[in-house]
Amino acid sequence: MTVTTYRDAWGIPHLRASDALQLARGQGENAALDRAWQIEVERHRSQGTTASFLGEDALSWDRLARRARLDDTARRCFENLDEPTAAWVSAYVDGVNAALVRGASAAPEFAATGLEPRPWEPWTPLGVWLAHHILFAGFPTKLWREEVARRLGDDAIELFATDDPGTAGSNGWMVSGERTATGAPLIAGDPHRFIQDPGFYQQIHLSCPEYDVVGFAVPGVPGVAHFGHTGGVAWAITNAMSDYHDLYRERLRRTDGGVEALGPDGWRPAVHHRETIEVAGGEPVEIEVIETERGPVVIGGPDEAPEPSGTAGRPDQDPSNQDPSDPCDLSGAAGLPGASGISLRYPPRVTADLGFAVIPALMRARTVADVDRALDGWIEPVNVVHAADTAGELLHRVAGYVPVRHRDNRLRVVPAWLPGHAWRGRHDTPRAEVDGVAVMANARGIATPLGVEFAPPHRAARIETLLRRSEEWTAHELTAIHMDTHLAAAKPLLAQVAGLEGLDPASERLRRRLLSWDLHMDADSVEAADYARLRSAVTRRIAAAPALKDLAAPLSYPAVFAPWLTLTAKVAFALETLLTTDRLPGLDVPAVVRAALAEAAAAEPVPWGGLHRLAPCRALPAGREEHWPGVGGDHDCVLATSSTPGVTHLSSRGPSARYVWDLSHRDNSLWVVPLGTRGMPGDPHHRDQLPLWQRGELVPVVTDFARLTQEPERP
């Protein structure tokens, strides 16, 4: 028996095969047929070759991918796989290669760019996974903290540490059988990522004698990793907000034999070679790839002048005061020989392991204990996990590799030449008991010992409050929580508004409207739009304040890191703290809020959805203007449709999937994605789920093949 493909009413693929390897091959074929353009873009991202067809704008990413050695790391991890897992990944790649040319012929982007599909290597799926997650842990935030310390002083290093939601997060919640109508557990949630077109997650059903699982696949990667239901057990994850990527400031020098880096034991040889990046419409760019004993050098190199770091290079510091026994002391950095670079140390590069053997083990799982054992081998990204089975057992734990090292490694760029910053093994991952409900929303909690910055507590607190209101939850009733728009984060700014007196008439009218507002960021709410305009105006004014002028100038880092290094964005997500901090002398918050209120009062009233429109990301810009719907929510609402206050009201981040896993019967489960299951423009299932996603509706999970439509075999 070969693989047979079925579809439900939403075009979701249901694949059935005689064994797991045939099924993996079938999943690869399906990815190539349904998502050819998407998976080829991701292959090129993993190899650092996107500029060859996307042009100069993609060059910064390609430099990072090459210098971080993503493709080489994927190859190492593949070569380190056990034989059954390697065969499983290889079968998936065989399927991709068998169908990629056919899939590309139906995707107009290939003709538009001149891109020709090329065969995948056995390790390419691991490279796709790495490319998706190399920035997931947010290591560029350490560059930001370093600049804050250098420009404002070390005591300000965590000034913007407001538990920024960053570019990725999630909501997740679990209800025990004691609080459901059926007596069986429920698991629900929604991962938050950039909303992509085609979507980041693909709904899929994979069935063979070894396992039968529904869940969300990542196109280009075999199996179901993050969100799945095998019938006996279901699991889901959120970003644990743990810190597990380190940056080291390197001193580099050229020698007759190549390149050397200064470490705790003196100058040591570094691996290095040169690569050429092809650029569509431009000249090829040659880069040098260097790897020290800490890791690949991702910024700078042996021909670049040393840069100060923290207190290093400040005129009030005397290098002779450096304490060589103190790994936190950077005061002597400026006096050291050699040029400057920054290296990245990340677990898969160190361990030659991505944890891919966990994925087939999860799909074979029948109980919570099976899921728990499998997750002991997970590496990256580090996640908080919920799992429940039909026997009523529950699991709430962290999974992934977090190294044990000095606390400064978590905060900032640390000196490669001083002792004390080496990794010293792996942290045990925390777990917790479940008291009726469990919530994971990137806030401080179970993963607190493993991180530095977390999401504000608002989403987690709101979800728990809503869950505690009932002991008779059903799968359909839980979907209402996905769409909750209450914004507790608005309270500090509104408190400032409440204290203003002597306002002009327009500002006073707006003040009264805001103070009577119910704090819900509903799409049809004019008051929500008023608040958003006020917040943006306050954000811009604080970012322009004299106290922050030293951070206002563009920072000299590669463009790929810009989302973590833009002052206005950092102020926007730190606003709750900055409104009350005493670390910015001279910042007159009441005056800022007064001026911002007058600005907002002068604007024409509109509903929030008129400003807050969906803005999905595409590798290739659309050839015509597209009109996307307005959406409710905000980055600190459960409905976390994020914009960047002070920059744009458009929402490019939000729920990249929604799900409710029902353990009473799998076909009572529900799911939805923002657009649709297929990636080809014009296909009936390209965007057919968008209206449902916008309204907060989910479609039923169907696993009975008798209720599905068999797809004709393709020639």
CA distance 428 to 93: 34
Enter the tokens of residue 226. Answer: 């993050």
> Token digits for 547?
């106290």
DSSP codes joined into one string, 80-96: TS-HHHHHHHHHHHHHH
pLDDT given for residue 625 in this prediction: 65
pTM of the full predicted structure? 0.94
pLDDT in tens, 549-601: 999 988 889 999 999 999 999 999 999 999 988 888 889 999 999 999 999 99
Give the residue ranges of the chain where pLDDT is below 70.
Answer: 1, 162-168, 305-339, 622-625, 714-715
- 471 residue type, one letter: E
- Which structure tokens are listed for 163? 């538990």
Q: Distance between CA 674 and CA 688 in Å, rounded? A: 9
Which residue, 225, 318, 300, is CA-closest to 259?
A: 300
Whole-number Å distance between alpha carbons of 54 and 57: 7
The reply to whether domains 169-236+354-478 and 246-319+326-345 share a CATH topology is no
Amino acid at position 606, single letter: V
Could you give the CA distance from residue 245 to residue 257 in angstroms, rounded to a whole number?
A: 30
Q: What's the CA gap between 68 and 349, in Å, rounded?
A: 9
**Which residues fall within 8 angstroms of residue 36, CB to CB, at 6 or more apart?**
100, 103, 104, 106, 107, 110, 117, 679
Alpha-carbon torsion, ordered 323, 326, 329, 330, to 10 deg = 90
Residue 437: φ, ψ to 5°: -135, 155
Could you tell me how far CA 669 lies from the centroid of its own chain?
25
* pLDDT given at position 695: 97
* Token reading at 104: 């590309």
- HSE of 523, CA atoms in CB hemisphere, 13 A: 18
Q: 302-330 burial, b if ≥16 CB within 10 A, otherwise e?
A: beeebbbbbbbbeeebeeeebeeeebbbb
DSSP reduced 3-state for 60: helix
- Cα Dmax for the chain: 80
Q: How far apart are CA 420 and CA 406, in angstroms?
A: 7
Indicate the pairing of strand 202-208 with strand 13-16: parallel
Which fold is adopted by the domain 246-319+326-345?
Penicillin G acylase, beta-roll domain (2.30.120)
- Residue 218: closest CA among 234, 200, 231, 191: 200
Domain ranges of the chain: 140-164+486-519+526-606, 169-236+354-478, 246-319+326-345
Topology at the third CATH level for domain 169-236+354-478: Glutamine Phosphoribosylpyrophosphate, subunit 1, domain 1 (3.60.20)
Predicted local confidence at residue 585, as pLDDT: 84
Burial class from Cβ neighbours inside 10 Å (0-12, 13-18, 19+) for residue 217 reads buried
Which of 351, 516, 521 is CA-nearest to residue 426? 351
Pairing status of strand 233-239 against strand 339-345: unpaired
Tens of pLDDT, residue by residue over 193-218, are 999 999 999 999 999 999 999 999 99
**Distance, CA of 329 to CA of 498 (rounded, Å):** 45
